[in-house]
Amino acid sequence: MKKVLLASTALILSAGFAAAEVTVAGDGRMGIIDKDDAAGLSFTSRIRISFAASGETDGGLTFGGSVRVDNYENDQATNGTEGNVFVSGAFGKLSMGDVSGAAEAAVGDLSGVGLTGLDDHNELAYLLNDGGANRSAARYEYSMNDFTAYLSFDNPKGDNEGYGVAVKYAPSNYSVSLGYENVSNGGPSVDHIILGGSAVFGGATVKAVYGRADGGIYNDDDQYGLSLDYVFGATTVTAFGINQFDDETDYGIGARYDLGGGAALVGGVVRDNRPGATDATKYDFGMSMTF
């Protein structure tokens, strides 16, 4: 009674069929975690299933969307606060839904560590798409040679006002990216400018990011950080350090050993420094899976 989805390599062998299709994938993990809190050493596991749909119009435009099953909780996928849809063609690509803003799409985050991400201290702060009230957000991208330009808007409903612009230059071995974003959701205007760069040296990839925000809760505050990924054989070692807008400074180090077939052993340690509170050392370890 069970149905098995063919892998895409098998699909290519089959005869022609309608362009529209739905792909199913998933990910899982199992392991242990300790976040230096009352829970102490704990088991951690999960499994997630995701869908990606796509089609092609008679005129050659590509359209589609993607969503994870767990994002259907509270019906979020169906009002555009989770999941996203897109249409793309020679004019570029337009996405809508839970899409990151222009600056985040161009500059992104530092490399993270651990089986679970350990609360994602490697992530930078961005102003756009900050919570479901700003969605469906929209982002437009256009690539030419090694340049990509980004333009994005939060959902303009009610008092919402947020937009971003960014560019990225990414030839083969390095990349430079610059983003600007501004929000004023019925309150003070907040600006954020952020610059990122990455470079590959043999098995090593270095990424550095610097951002500065002003207005609202920010007073010319800055955030910056550096991450390093080093690959040797099936092993990737990752380390990062970050200074958040509130001067919280966190560090992380971790490793990933690829077992093949979509499985890996992954572990990490993060030092979470909290100004005015007790610091925490978080770690996890286990097997990650992709299907």
* Residues in region 102-141 near its own copies by CB under 8 A: 135-138
Three-class HEC string of 135-148: CCEEEEEEEECCEE
The tokens describing 285, both together, are: 């370890």
Q: Does 187 bind its own copies (CB under 8 A)?
A: no
CA–chain centroid gap for 260, Å, is 23
Least separation in angstroms between residue 284's CB and its own copies is 12
Least separation in angstroms between residue 62's CB and its own copies is 9
Nearer to its own copies, 41 or 144 (CB): 41
Q: Which stretch binds its own copies (CB under 8 A): 49-57, 184-192, 214-222, 237-245?
A: 49-57
**Total binding residues for its own copies by CB under 8 A?**
90
Least separation in angstroms between residue 271's CB and its own copies is 21
Least separation in angstroms between residue 234's CB and its own copies is 9
Q: Which residues lie below 8 Å from residue 183, measured CB to CB, with a gap of 6+?
A: 127, 128, 130, 154, 161, 162, 189, 190
b (16+ CB within 10 A) / e for 205-228: bbbebbbbbebeebeebbbbbbbb
Of residues 12-31, those binding its own copies (CB under 8 A): 13-15, 17-26, 28-30
Side chain identity at residue 49, one-letter code: I
User: 8: part of which helix (H) or strand (E)?
Assistant: helix 8-13
b (16+ CB within 10 A) / e for 183-195: bbbeeeebbbbbb
Q: Does 186 bind its own copies (CB under 8 A)?
A: no
Least separation in angstroms between residue 287's CB and its own copies is 6
Q: Using CB under 8 A, which of 36, 42, 105, 215 touches its own copies? A: 42
Distance between CA 178 and CA 103 in Å, rounded? Answer: 7
Q: Using CB under 8 A, which of 90, 131, 145, 158 touches its own copies? A: 158
Q: Does 5 bind its own copies (CB under 8 A)?
A: yes
Q: Which stretch binds its own copies (CB under 8 A): 35-43, 179-187, 206-214, 217-225?
A: 35-43
The tokens describing 141, both together, are: 């991208």
Q: Using CB under 8 A, which of 147, 157, 274, 275 touches its own copies? A: 157
b (16+ CB within 10 A) / e for 20-41: eeeeeeeebbebebbbeeeeee
Q: Does 53 bind its own copies (CB under 8 A)?
A: yes
Of residues 208-267, those binding its own copies (CB under 8 A): 259-263
Nearer to its own copies, 18 or 144 (CB): 18
Of residues 76-105, those binding its own copies (CB under 8 A): 77-80, 83-87, 94, 96-97
Task: Identify the residue whose tokens are 């989770």.
Answer: 82
Q: Does 269 bind its own copies (CB under 8 A)?
A: no
